[in-house]
Structure 1
C-alpha cells in the first residue's frame, strides 16, 4: 500500500512539473536565453547529441570556448563550464521549456520547442552584414541600375534593358541560393556560427 502511495505521489510530482513547464517560451524569453553564449552553445551541442549529459555538454562547450578539441580541454576549463551549466544555464533552459534536465542522472534532452528557435539563431559578427541588411543594399543597387538604364546613363544605356534585368534577377537568385544553403538551422549546423568563423 505504501509503495502504491509512493508511486502515485511520484506520478503527481511528474504531472505537476510537466504542468509548470511552459509549452513554448515567449519571444522575450528566447532573446534572453540566446543572449548568453554558453546557453546558445548548449542548444547546439544538444541537437548534435540528444542523449547528452551535463558532463559531455561541459566538454563540448569548453572546447568551443577555448577553440580546441575536446581532448585538449583542461579540467579547470571543464569545471568552470560544468558549474555554470549546473547552477544557472540548464535550470533556466528547463524553466522555459527548451530542455528536460535530470539533476540526479545528469541527463539533458532538448524538447520540441528547440526546433522553433532557428529563426533567432543567425549570429552576425560586428564586421558583417545581416541578411536583411544585405538584401536591402542589393535592392538599392538594383533600383540604381533601373534608374540608370531608364535615363540612358553610360554604360547602362548602351546595353539592352533585358540584359540588366537578367543581371538583377541573377543577383537575387544567387543571393537567395547562398542564403538558403547557409541557413541550415540548429539541427543542420555542425557547430555554432561563432565557432565556424573563428576556425
Structure 2
C-alpha cells in the first residue's frame, strides 16, 4: 500500500492548495498514531463492516461491547455513555482531522482514504513468535538441509533428494497459507470482532 505524504506539521491546514485531495492523506506515521488507540481502531473496524454511514449511538454500543468483552444487550447506560462521549469529543474529531471519516455529530462515514486503508495488525500472543522470525528460522532449517544434501551428510537412501525438496517446499507453502489466513483475520473490517 503506497501512502501519499501528508502536510508537514506547522503548515496552515485551513488554506487548502490545488492538490488538497492528495495532500490531505495521512502519512504512514500518522496512520500508526491513529491506530495506536483501540477506540479509533474499533471505530474504523465497525465502519468498514457497514455499507452505509453509521449512527454514533450504534458505533458507541459496538465499541463499548468489544472493549468490555460483552454483548451489546448486556451494556449499561453508563458504559454506553462513556464510550459515546469519548468518541464524540475526542476520537471521531481526530479521525475527521486525519481525513479518515466524515462526522456530523450523529453520523459517521468513512472517507475514501479510510475505505482504501488495508491494514492488518500483526498481533503476536505472548507464547508465540512473529512471522518474520518464524520464516527466518524456517529458512535456516531449509539452508541446513540443502547444505547437508550438497555435502552428502543428509541421508538420501531413506528420503531421496527430491523428497527433501518437496518437504521444504511443502513447509513453506503450508506456512504461507496459515500466515495468509491469519492476516485476513487480523484486518480492520474483517471478522465480527476487531483485531
If the TM-score is normalised by the length of the shorter chain, which range does it land in?
0.7 to 0.9
Instruction: Write the mapping of 1:31-42 to structure 2, written as runs, cut at 5 A.
Output: 31-42=32-43
Q: In 2, Cα distance between the equivalents of 1:75 and 1:21? A: 41
Match of 1:72 among 74, 99, 110: 74
Cα distance in 2 for residues equivalent to 1:157 and 1:33: 57
Larger helix share, 1 or 2: 1
What TM-score do the two structures reach when normalised by structure 1?
0.77
User: What stretches of structure 2 of length at least 5 have no aligned partner?
Assistant: 1-15
Report runs of 4+ in structure 1 exceeding 4 Å deviation.
19-22, 154-158
Cα separation, 2, equivalents of 1:156 and 1:39: 56
Bigger mean CA deviation after superposition, 51-60 or 134-143: 134-143
Change (3 A) 1:91 1:100: same
Render the CA deviation track for 1:88-138: whole Å, top value 9, x for unaligned. Answer: 1111111111111111xx100111212443245333334332322222222
Q: Which runs of 5+ in 1 are unaligned?
A: 1-15, 194-199
Instruction: Name the residue aligned to 1:197.
Output: none
Q: Deviations over 1:48-88 (max 9, x none)?
A: 12421111111001111111111111112112211111111
Number of aligned positions between the proteins? 175
The verdict on how the C-alpha distance between 1:101 and 1:155 changes in structure 2, with shifts beyond 3 A counting, is: same
Distance in 2, Cα, partners of 1:145 & 1:43: 45
TM-score normalised by length of structure 2: 0.78
Evaluate the alpha carbon distance shift between residue 118 and residue 126 of structure 1 in structure 2; reply closer, same or farther with a 3 A threshold.
farther
| Aligned position for 1:45 | 46
Aligned match of 2:26 = 25
CA distance in 1, matches of 2:123, 2:91: 19
Counterpart secondary structure, 1:141: helix
Q: Structure 1 pair 71/82, CA: closer, same or farther in 2 (3 Å)? A: same
Q: Is the 8 A contact 2:124 2:130 kept in 1?
A: yes
